[in-house]
Chains A and B, each alone.
Chain A
Amino acid sequence: MNNPIEPYTLEEVLDAYIAASPTPSRVVLQEWIKRYPQYAQALTEFTIAWSQTEYFPENKNPQKDPNARLQIGMNIARQAYKQAVIANHRTKAQSRAPIESFFREGKQLGYSPDELARQLNIPVTVIRRIESHLVLIDTIPTGLIESFATTLQRPFGDISHFLKSRPDIPQSVRLKSHQAPKVAQQQNFFDVIRTDPTISEEQRTYWLSFETKKE
C-alpha cells in the first residue's frame, strides 16, 4: 500500500486510478479515497465525469465533417512539433557544456549510479576511478568509451575530451607542504579490473577479454 503522504501529483494518481478499473466504480473510488484522501474531491469529480461520458446521450447535432476534427488535431500536433524542435535546439546547445561528471550526466537522464553501472556493465567504483582520471585513457577499451557516449547521449568526442582532461586540484585547497601536490597515480584499466573488489567474475572475464585485443 502506498503511503498517502508521498508527494504524488494528482495527474499521476488519476493515471493509475483509471488503469485500476475498466469502468467507473464506486467501490474502487472508496478504496482510492482512503489511499489518497488529499485527492478525495478530485477523484470523486473525475469518477462522476467518467460515468457521465459512459451514460450521457449522444448530442443530436454531431460534427458534420468527420475530417474537420482531424484537421484541428493535425494543426495542433504540427505546432507542438515545431515548438519541440525549437526546445530541442536549445537543449542541445546547453548540453554542449563540457562534461564534469559521468554520474551527473547520467542523473540528468534518469540513471542512478547503480543503473548507470548496469548500463555500462562495469561497477560504480570503476566508473568513479575513470571519471576521477585515475585510469590511463589509452588503456580504456574503445567499446567502453562508445558505451559511455551512447548511454549518456553524448558524442564520442565529448567523452574522450573529458577523459583526456587533466584532473583538477580545487583552488580552495590550501597547500601547506613545500612540495607540489601529487595526484594519485593513474592505473592501467585492466589492472583496475583485475583488482576491483566489487566487480563480478563475469564482468572481470568480459573486460579482461579486451586486454589482448587492445595490445
Chain B
Amino acid sequence: MPETPSTLPQRILEPLTRRNLNGDVYKRESVVESQIISSIGLPDEGVIARAKISDKEAVGFLQEETLVYLIRESAQNQRQLVADILLEILLVRCQRQVDYRIRSLDSDLANEAYAEIMRKLFEKIFGAEGQSDYLQVRFWNALDRIAIDVFRQCNHRREQDEANLLSSPYTAGEETEEVKDEWEQILIGSEHLIPGESRWSSVERKALIEDALQVLGEPTRTAFILHYLEGWQIESKDPDEMTLSKYYQVTPKTIGNWLRKAKSDLKIWRGDHNE
C-alpha cells in the first residue's frame, strides 16, 4: 500500500554542526525548521510557488534561512530548475541590503564589491558541512558581516589609491593647541549636524549628514564620523580603550588638526547651503 504523507517517517534535516561562541551547536529557529520540513516533500512547482510568496505575513512564506537550506538540498539532489529559481529569489531579496552597504563606492568598485560579496555568500551556501550553518540561523547578520567586510577591503583599496595620488597636508604638521576648544561649540551651534537634533527627522538628519560628508576627504571624514557621530575619543586614559589616536597611530594633535580641517570644510559647506 502506498504511504500517505502522514505515515511517511519524518525526514531528518541535515544537522547543523558549527558551534556558537558559547560552545552550543547552532540551532535553526523552529519556524525555519517547520518551513523546511513542510517544503522538502513538495514537488518542484510547490517549492517554487512558496518561495515566490513575498509577503512575510502570508501563509507559506519562506524565510531566507529556509531558502538557503532548500538551495543546498536542490544542489545535492540536482534539482537545477528549483535551484535556479530559488537562487534568483534569494538574490532579489538580498539586493537592497547589499546595495545599501556599498552605496558610497564608485560604480566600478561597487560592482567589484557586489561580485565579491556574492562569491563569498555562495561559497558559504554551497560550501562543505557547516559552512552554511550561520546563514541558516541568522541570514541577515551573516550577509551583513560579509558585505561590511568586503566594503572594508574595497574602501581600503580606494584610500590607498587616493593616498598615492594625493599627499595629505594634515597628517602631522601644523599642530595647534586650540584644536578642541571651538569644535563642540560649533557643532552644537550647527543646525545641520547635531546628533539627536529634534527639528530634523532621523531620515532628514541622515540625508543631511551624508550630504555634508560629501565635502570631506579621508581620513578626515572617517575621523569625523567616529568622533562626532559614534562617540570615539581622540585619546583616553584607559589603556584598553580604542581611540582615534591609537587607531590611526598619530598624535592626538594630528587628529585635532584633521577635525579642525573638517570643521573648516563644513563651515564653507554650511555657508553654501544657507545661501
Contacts and interface: CB of A to CB of B under 8 A. Distances in A.
A53 B122 contact: no
Interface residues of B, number: 77
Q: How large is the interface on A (under 10, 10 to 19, 20 to 34, 35 or more residues)?
A: 35 or more
Interface string A34-47: 10000010001110
A115 to B, nearest CB: 8
B107 A62 contact: yes
A26 B232 contact: yes
A56 B221 CA distance: 8
B116 to A, nearest CB: 9
Given A26-B232, A85-B75, A110-B17, A74 B151 contact: no
A57 B91 contact: no
A84 B122 CA distance: 10
Contacts of A59: 103-107, 110
Contacts of A58: 103-104, 210
Contacts of B102: 53
Given A53-B100, A69-B95, A72-B111, A110 B129 contact: yes
Interface stretch (A16-24, A97-105, A161-169): A16-24
A30 interface: yes
Contact of A80 (B25, B126, B206, B225): B126
B22 to A, nearest CB: 7
B209 A55 contact: yes
Interface in B25-63: 25
B175 interface: no
B241 interface: yes
A69 B221 contact: no
Contacts of A55: 206, 209-210, 213, 225, 229
B240 interface: yes
Given A15-B138, A111-B15, 9 more contacts: A15-B142, A45-B152, A48-B222, A51-B229, A53-B148, A81-B75, A87-B128, A143-B9, A150-B9
Interface of A: 2, 8, 11-16, 18-19, 24-26, 29-30, 33-34, 40, 44-46, 48-53, 55-59, 61-64, 68-70, 72-74, 76-78, 80-81, 83-85, 87-88, 109-111, 119, 143, 146-147, 150-151, 153
12 contacts: A46-B152, A51-B222, A51-B225, A51-B230, A57-B214, A69-B111, A73-B114, A76-B115, A80-B126, A81-B84, A110-B16, A110-B17
